[in-house]
Each structure stands twice: as structure tokens, then as C-alpha cells.
Chains A and B, each alone.
Chain A
Amino acid sequence: MATVAAQRPRRRWLTRRRVVGTFWTTFTWLLAFVLFFPVLWMVLTSFKREGDAYTTPPKIAFHPTLSQFSQVFNGGAGPPFEHSLFVSLVSVVFVLLLGIPAAYALSVRAIERWRDVLFFFLSTKMLPYVAAIVPIYIVALHIGLLDNDWALVILYTGFNLPLAVWMIRSFLLEIPKEVIEAARIDGAGLFIELTRVILPVAIPGIAATALICVIFSWNEFFFAYFLTATRGPTVPVFMISFLQSEGEYWARLAAAATVACLPVILAGWLAQRQLVRGLSLGALK
């Protein structure tokens, strides 16, 4: 008898705990759904015909069509995608080529005053773009890089590099010192040490860094708008062209937005474990 009496309140406490837990779980799901809804709505709208996009109440059931997507691509989305792809990929290659050795020199084989160098890198990231746009525009104008993908490649390499150095450095630091020392004792030179010992271990971290750099370059609008607006627009600049026709082509706008955001959303989902490290410049794991 005594044991039953002792168990009963305990069980009640457990069920109460479970109810509260279910409540919070449902609440979390609900919040997540509300916050995610605009994204879902974008994808839904992109499969609508224009007539279905303007209804009160908003339509959830409709005949899906792919015509908006084909219109987006026939409507000149091809070249902006090529520009964006070129700029994002080439700049990320430069970032890695410059960033990996820099990160190496600031971690594994730390140079003198490495901490100052590291923080100098970071401080450059804090310059507001607006302050630089006027001179950059003028310089680009004078050396004929206006409306040229290379102007953006140079800029994006510049503004992603600090982030990449900080991030790659935090990954390199995780490699056990013994592994590197063992390789050195075995007579590995700098090149072998980098390519055979360090890179294979650090590759997942470097890949995540690269993805985050691509995300930032892909979404960048400010420089792209000023430096490539007339010829050779990137995807964000292409999206802006909907500003004029806005109010008439919602479904097509949604289709264009879906296509424009999809690569980055997928990349971000893949890199989400490392995202926080990138965003906090390697300070947080």
C-alpha cells in the first residue's frame, strides 16, 4: 500500500511533465511554421497561374503549373545566373587560395604578432560598404572595370577573406598538434604537410567556409547594383527588375525568387552546423 501511494503522485507528476512538454513542442512547431511560412508561400505562389496569385482569401488549392519557371528563364534570367555563378565561384577560389595559407600562418605555424594580424583582418570587415562605394565606383570607372564581373570578384574576395581566415583558422586549430609534429619528424616539407596532412583533415571545415562565402557573394546586392547595373547584372540585380512590374506578376516574381534563393538555401542547410561558427567569425562553435 505504501509503495502505491508513493508512486501515484510521481506518476501524476510525470504525466503533467509530459503534457507541458507536448505544449512547448507544439508551440515551437507553431512558431517555426509561422516564421517559415513566407518561404513556403513563395514556393507555393511560384507554381500558380497569375490569376490564382491574386485572390482573397489567398488560395492554397490550385492547379500547379511550371509555366512561371519557364517564363523566368525565357525572360532573361539566364545571363544573371551565369554572372552570379561566375562571380561567386571565382571569388571563393581566390578566398581559399589566399585564406588557407593566411589561416595556416596564423595558427599552425603562427607568425609573430599573429593576434594583431588576426584582429586587423577582422577590423576590415567592419567598414560600412556605403563609405567605400563612391571611391570604388570611381576607381572601377577609371580602370574600366565597370560592368565587369572581375570588379565584383575582387570586392567579394576582399569582403569574404577576413571571415574565411577566421573560420579556417578555427578549424586548423582543431587538428591535433601531434599529427603535424609526427609528419614533420617524418621529414614532410611545408607543401607535403599542407596538402597531405592538414588539408585532408580540414576539408569539411574548408568546405563549410566556402559555402558560407558563396552564400554571401550570391546574395550581395549593394555593390552589384552600382557596379554592374547596366550590363552584366547578377541575380539580385535581376530581381530588382521586378520592382517596375511589381503588382502585375506575383507568380512570376515568386518563381524568380524561388530559383534565385534555392541554391543558397540548399547550401545553407548543408552547412548549418558550421553556420554559427562562420557568423560569429569562428569565435563560437
Chain B
Amino acid sequence: MYMIVVTQVPFLVTIWYSLRSWNTLTPGSNKFVGFDEYKLVFADPTFRSAILNTVVITASAVIISMILATTLAILVNRRFIGRGVVRTMLITPFLLMPVATALLFKTTIYDPIFGLLDWVLGPFGVHQVNWVGTHSVAAVVAVLVWEWTPFMMLIVLAGLQSEPLESLEAARVDGANAVQSFGLITLPYLRRYIELGLLLGSIYILQAFGEIFVLTQGGGGHGSATTNLPYYIYELAFNQFNVSEAAAAGVIVVIATEIIAMTTLRLLSTLFRASEAMG
């Protein structure tokens, strides 16, 4: 019951507001207008670019962190000295408060003069680049990748560790080398785990707000290149006080997320049945 009240009621209220034309700055504007606000949202070029930005930011962050995470998971899955310490070090970025991470990256790493990035790239002839200003999307994506790689790594690692050893053993007996047995046996086995990581990652990164709020305030090299949907809704509701348009945009985001979510749920359900069958 509690879950229904806390999660479903706000959504119903959102739909209700989205069908009205409420702007808190305009008295008497709170009345029923049907789908007009949706038309307004779709007509807004910022909304369309916000969709595009969301797709670009989410997809690149999810894919890059998955590649990095799979590499790391394979490396950490070996036995070596200090494996526990390395694992602990690797999961730490995920534990950091996202807002603090973004602040630290903005100052100590991305700063054009005193930032670490400027110092590291100095010998390669890169000097005093305003990372956040000119490469804003890349700057945001880099922070997101740094934050979410550990999450993906843990999921892939769980997959690697649950892999039945017999099939690998059989492959070795058949004369497969390390690369072959990885490509032919481990990777197909990992597929479900990688999919799960990608989907859950997408659902979370789609909602990235704090990082963008801190790093770029939705701005960027080309106008508002980092305004993703959450930031767009925030601007509508809390800077332009356009409650209904924000609510309408919110409903659209829900529908979009729902598509990813349904896929995730289906995948989880198969994993879940599989582990049940094993247990």
C-alpha cells in the first residue's frame, strides 16, 4: 500500500497537472486545457534538443563505461597480489557523492590553469583548455563514466564468477586459446549480464541531474548542449515556473523510460527464473 501511495499518486498528479495550463507566475492560469501543454512541449525546440542531448549523453556514458568495466572485470577476475585492494579502489568512485564528484572534477581536474588534466596533457601541447566550457558534453560524459564504471564492473564480475568452469575446461581441452575461449564461450555467457548492466545503467544515467547542474548548468559549447531531459524539466518548473509544461515533459520522460524499463524487467525476470531453477 505504501508503495502505491508514494509512487503512483505523484504520477497521477503529474498527469493531472500536465493536462492543465498552470504557470505559477500567471494567476488564474490553472485550468483544464487538455493536451495543449503536450503540443507546447513538442513544439519547443529546446525540448527536442534536450531529447537528443539525453540520448547522446546517456548512450555514450553507458557504452564507454561498459567497455571499460568489462576490461576491468576481466583483469580483476584473475588471481593476483592485492586483488582485494584493487577491487576496493575500483568501486570507490561509485560511492562518492555525485555532487561532490562533479565539484571536484570541475575544480581540481578540469580547471584550465591549475587542473590536473592541464598538467597531464601539458607535455602533449595541450594548454589551458576550458574543458567544461568548450568540451562540455565530453566533460559531463567523462564524469558519468568515472562514476558508473564500478557499477557495471561489479555486474560483469558477478557474471564472470558465476561462469561454469567446465565449459572453459572443455574449450581448453579442445585446444582453444585464451582469446578464442573468451570470444566463443565467456562473451556469449556474459551477454545477459552485460545487457543488465547496460539497461540498469541507462535507467540511472538518464536521470543524471546533479552532475550537469554542477558542471555546466545545462550550458555548453553549442548553446545548451548538456541540457538533458531532467535539467530541461527543472528549468521549466523552477526557473520559468511553468508547472504544467514541466509535468507534460515529465510524462513524456516516463513513457520513454518505461520502454527501457520493460526490457529490463523482462531480462531480470529471465535471470531470476534461471537462478531459481539452479537454486
Q: Which chain A residues have a beta carbon within 8 Å of chain B's beta carbons?
A: 21, 24-25, 27-29, 31-33, 35-36, 38-39, 41-42, 45, 53-58, 98, 119-124, 126-139, 154-155, 157-158, 161-162, 173, 215, 218-219, 221-222, 225-226, 235-236, 239-240, 242-243, 246-247, 250, 253-254, 256-257, 260-261, 264-265, 267-269, 272, 275-276, 279-281, 283-285
A162 with B3: in contact, given A128-B230, A276-B158 (CB under 8 Å)? Answer: yes
The residue in chain A whose Cβ has the minimal distance to the Cβ of B114 is A54
- Interface set of B (CB-CB < 8 Å, partner A): 2-3, 6-11, 13-14, 16-17, 72, 75-76, 78, 80-82, 86-101, 103-109, 111, 113-114, 116, 118-119, 146, 149, 151, 154-155, 157-159, 162, 193, 196, 200, 203, 206-207, 209-210, 213-214, 229-230, 233-234, 237-238, 243, 246-247, 250-251, 253-254, 257-258, 260-261, 264-265, 268-269, 271-272, 275, 279
Q: Are B253 and A272 in contact (CB-based, < 8 A)? A: no
Q: Does B91 lie within 8 Å of A272, measured CB to CB?
A: yes
Nearest chain A CB to B130 CB, angstrom units:
13
For A21, the closest partner residue in chain B by CB is B80
Give the complex CA separation of A57 and B113 in angstroms.
10
Look across to chain B and name the residue whose beta carbon is closest to the beta carbon of A162.
B3
Q: Are A33 and B92 in contact (CB under 8 A)?
A: no
Q: Is A130 a contact partner of B230 (Cβ separation < 8 A)?
A: yes
Chain A residues with Cβ under 8 A from B257's Cβ? Answer: 126-128
Determine if A123 and B99 form an interchain contact, defined as CB atoms under 8 angstroms apart: no
6 contacts between A and B (CB under 8 A): A39-B93, A133-B233, A135-B17, A221-B210, A239-B100, A250-B114
Contact partners of A256 in chain B: CB under 8 A = 100
Out of B158, B246, B250, B269, which one reaches A119, CB within 8 Å?
A: B269
> In whole angstroms, what is the CA distance A28 to B86 when docked?
8
A32:B89 contact, CB within 8 angstroms: yes
Do the beta carbons of B155 and A280 come within 8 Å of each other? yes
The listed residue with most B CB atoms (<10 A of its CB), out of A33, A161, A257, A285, is A257
Residues in B neighbouring A53, C-beta threshold 8 A? 108, 114
Which of A134, A254, A264, A283 makes the CB contact (< 8 A) with B97? A264
With A253-B107, A265-B95 known to touch, is A226 a contact of B238 (CB < 8 Å)?
yes
Determine the chain B residues whose CB is within 8 A of the CB of A54 once the complex forms: 113-114
Distance (whole angstroms) from the CB of B11 to the closest CB of chain A = 6
Give the Cβ gap from B107 to chain A, nearest Cβ, in Å.
5
